[in-house]
A and B are shown apart, each in its own frame.
Chain A
Amino acid sequence: MRYPGNIERSIEKSYLENIEVSADAEMDGRILGDALAAMEESKKAGPALAGPNVWRTIMKNRITKLAAAAVIITAVLLGVKFAGGPDMANVAWGEVTNRVAQVDYVHVYWFKSRGDALFRQFEGWYAHGKLVRRGDKGGMTYDDGQTQQKFDEQGRRIGKKPSLFAEGKTFFELFSADLLSDKNEQLSQLTPINVGDDFLIYEVDPPPDWDGSQWLENISVTVGKNSLLPVQMKIFEKDSDDYDLVMFDYEAPEKPPEFFEPPMAASANGQSEVVLDGQEVVLNIEGAPGLKQAVVRLYDKYDGPAEQFPLDYISSDRLDPNFSRAVSEGVRKKYKKKGGPVYRLDVSFVTDEGYESGTLVFLATRLNEAGQCGVGSSAGGLDGWPDGKYRNIKFSPLLKSTEREDTYIVEIRCWLRPKDD
């Protein structure tokens, strides 16, 4: 017989929580009394360990005293400021975010560490409220402040949704997933943990109720001492030695306005009306070599309270129940943040050879928001097709409303990615 329960949960609930420990005042007094006494001893020992007083040593000797006076006079005459004093240690994070809000142009590099190596993930250019990102494989994202559009490396549009700046975010809030927002009052009072000759270093821990606190350990931001602008950000994940490194360059030559304009989006490869909870619809696919048809079904519109969002929203015999639940939980979180309605869209494809792909049963879709998706063979895997060839079908569905409440237009942009692509 197998142990039936979740072992971690059992340890927590049935073992650790049942260890009752109550410390009494007597014990507290003993421990704290001894600890405070040890602290006092350390205080007394402190000055002896602190080393000689340099200023006193200088002033004791006539020659060094004169030399020190000469250095000070020269510094005053040259207008040199002694930096790194207590003032810089008190520069609150709020002052940094104020400076960031004034930035018109910045070039950003984003790297990921893997072991001892760093890999570039994307480059970004932010100018006057517009953002362009180029992924390491050549895919581009254009955000004009109202709409964000994603294009693959072939220039095909694979996603469209409201701008990331629509809520008045700065580029820095965007890159730090809101953690380093000037709206975070607790954070705005944060002072540097380190003051160097040229830089201030801030370390930010995610608040427990912040969305990313499950995965993010902390963010370390290096800020220029004179400019008070972030020049580097390191993002550490929990339980991992890897980190993301983001570098900000404010002096790169500014890109021309046309650089921030997205290319004309190619028309859809297939389009049809679909009825909510109705029959599946077969779309003829054009302009996507290797693909003949897409089979689409739309159901499960949800527009209720986020708290009641069904945690079995995604369910399938093909999927592990824990995976389905985790995906449903993810959809619920996003729903809570962005609102609804949300629809479940199933899409499968038929290749020129007549092979049918599997469906993505967990495709939660919003109106007018295109996402990037992919499916392989129905047997699972990308080379599990009847002829043994590798096929990865990438697609981007877009759902639009019509005048009829239960009828929608679904547009599919798709292409077949062979192994060598």
Chain B
Amino acid sequence: MLEDKLLIRKFNRGDGDALRRIYEKYRNDLLKVAAALLNDRSGVEDVLHDVFVSFAKGMGTFQLRGNLKGYLSICIANRARDKNRAAQRQRTVGMDNAGPIRSDISGPAHLAVHSELSERLGSAMAQLPCEQREIIILHLQSRTRFRQIAKSKGVSANTIRSRYRYGLNKLRSILNGELR
């Protein structure tokens, strides 16, 4: 965290190496968040690209509240949500018909999902409401705090906590249905 604050200070002074360090430090985690949230994983690079270009534009005025990884992960989640909606409008296919996340994609980011449980979890995650899925991924993958997510959405931490719990319960019931 202290390192992040130092990096942000340097970044705000226009230090390109600080931006490069931030990118290299969090790139892989952010790609995972994007991959877990996008319905079409071929868009992960676009999402990461958009978030970093937008972040770089904020040079000189960026103020870090909470942790940097959490902030960037929330940006990735917002961008992924926009992208999912845009793709949905284009295809005019509802989320329910979008099917589970698949791993047979090609592109600069090479992705794969292994194991049967992993496939089932991926399928169950895809059935969750978008907001619940986002909170679960942000909290478990990026360790983003409920409070930071809540601030970004303008709701209380308790609301986020509840959505997280509802999401987990729904996942459990989907998996229970499969196991039955």
Q: Which residue of B lies closest to A15 (CB)?
A: B121
Q: Which of B57-100 contact A (CB under 8 A)?
A: 57-60
Q: Quick check: A3 and B140 within 8 Å, CB to CB?
A: no
- A205 CB-CB contact with B under 8 Å: yes
Q: In the bound complex, do residue B14 and residue A39 qualify as a contact, i.e. CB atoms below 8 Å apart?
A: yes
**B173 CB to nearest A CB, Å:** 8
Q: Which residue of B lies closest to A22 (CB)?
A: B110
Shortest CB–CB separation between residue B142 and chain A, in angstroms? 10
With A31-B45, A31-B48, A31-B49 in contact, do A18 and B140 touch (Cβ < 8 Å)?
no
Q: Is the pair B2, A190 in contact by a Cβ cutoff of 8 Å?
A: yes
Q: Taking the complex as formed, is A166 at the interface, i.e. its CB lies under 8 A from any CB of chain B? A: no
* A42–B59 touching, CB < 8 Å: yes
A11 to B138, CA, bound (A): 12
| Of A125-133, A235-243, A263-271, the one touching chain B | A235-243
Residues of A within 8 A of B57 (CB): 38-39, 41-42
Interface residues in A14-57 by Cβ distance below 8 A to B read: 14-16, 18-24, 26-28, 30-32, 34-36, 38-39, 41-43, 46
B145 within 8 A of A: yes
Size bracket of the B interface: 35 or more
Q: What's the minimum C-beta distance from A195 to chain B, rounded to whole angstroms?
A: 14
User: Is B130 on the interface with A (CB-CB < 8 A)?
Assistant: no
Q: Does B55 contact A (CB under 8 A)?
A: yes
Q: Are A3 and B176 in contact (CB under 8 A)?
A: yes
Contacts of A117 in B (CB 8 A): none
Q: Which of A15, A28, A35, A240 contacts B122 (CB 8 A)?
A: A15
- How many interface contacts (CB-CB < 8 Å) are there between A and B? 144
Q: How far is the CA of A132 from the CA of B115 in the complex (A)?
A: 60
Q: Counting CB contacts under 8 A, is A8 at the interface? A: yes
Say yes or no: is A62 at the interface (Cβ < 8 Å to chain B).
no
Contact of A34 with B49 in the complex, beta carbons under 8 Å: yes
Minimum CB–CB distance from B119 to chain A (whole Å) comes to 9
Q: Which B residues from 1 to 47 make CB contacts under 8 A with A?
A: 1-2, 5, 14, 16, 19-20, 23-24, 27-28, 31-32, 35-36, 44-45
**Contact residue among A11, A19, A35, A38 (Cβ-Cβ distance under 8 Å from B136):** A11
Identify the closest chain B residue to A24 (Cβ). B108
Contact with B along A224-258 (1 / 0, CB 8 A): 00000000000000111100000000000000000
Give, as a whole number of angstroms, the nearest-CB distance from B135 to chain A. 12
Q: Mark B114-127, 1 if CB is under 8 A from A, else 0.
A: 11011001100100
Q: Is the CB of B109 within 8 A of A23?
A: yes
- Contact call A239/B145, Cβ cutoff below 8 A: yes
Measured in the bound complex, the distance between the Cα atoms of B27 and A15 in whole Å is 19
A1 to B59, CA, bound (A): 53
Check A8/B161 contact, CB under 8 A, given A21-B31, A42-B56. Answer: no
Partner of B60, one of A11, A19, A46: A46
Chain B interface (Cβ < 8 Å from any Cβ of A): 1-2, 5, 14, 16, 19-20, 23-24, 27-28, 31-32, 35-36, 44-45, 48-49, 52-60, 108-115, 117-118, 121-122, 125, 136-137, 140-141, 145-147, 156-157, 161, 168, 171-172, 175-176, 179-180
Footprint of B on A, CB under 8 Å? Answer: 1-3, 7-8, 10-12, 14-16, 18-24, 26-28, 30-32, 34-36, 38-39, 41-43, 46, 186, 190, 193, 205, 217-218, 238-241
Q: Can you list 18 A-B pairs, Cβ within 8 angstroms, ordered by A?
A: A1-B176, A2-B179, A3-B176, A7-B168, A7-B175, A10-B117, A11-B125, A12-B140, A16-B140, A18-B118, A28-B23, A28-B27, A36-B20, A38-B57, A42-B57, A42-B59, A218-B1, A239-B157
